[in-house]
Amino acid sequence: MSETESLTNMLLREIRDEVKSLRYELGDVRTLSLSTFDRVKRLERRLEETRDDLETTIKAEIMAPA
């Protein structure tokens, strides 16, 4: 009986350690996901600003007297 309890305890410790490790990894994945989302939002903003600037430049070129 003691051997079975010992084996059970050992397996439970391994499972606990694995769950703990997975929690850390999940935290890392969450952090990376959030930073990726922030970067994408910044890139979208920059692209929109660049598009607006390009549009203004093209309009100015078209409207400029020859």
Give domain limits for the chain: 1-66
Please report where in the chains the tokens 């059970």 appear, as a residue.
8
Give per-residue pLDDT as tens, 19-66. Answer: 999 999 999 999 999 999 999 999 999 999 999 999 999 999 999 876
- Above 80 in pLDDT, residue 6? yes
The pTM score is 0.62
pLDDT at residue number 65: 75
pLDDT at residue number 4: 85
- Above 80 in pLDDT, residue 1? no
Alpha helix positions (H), the chain: 2-63
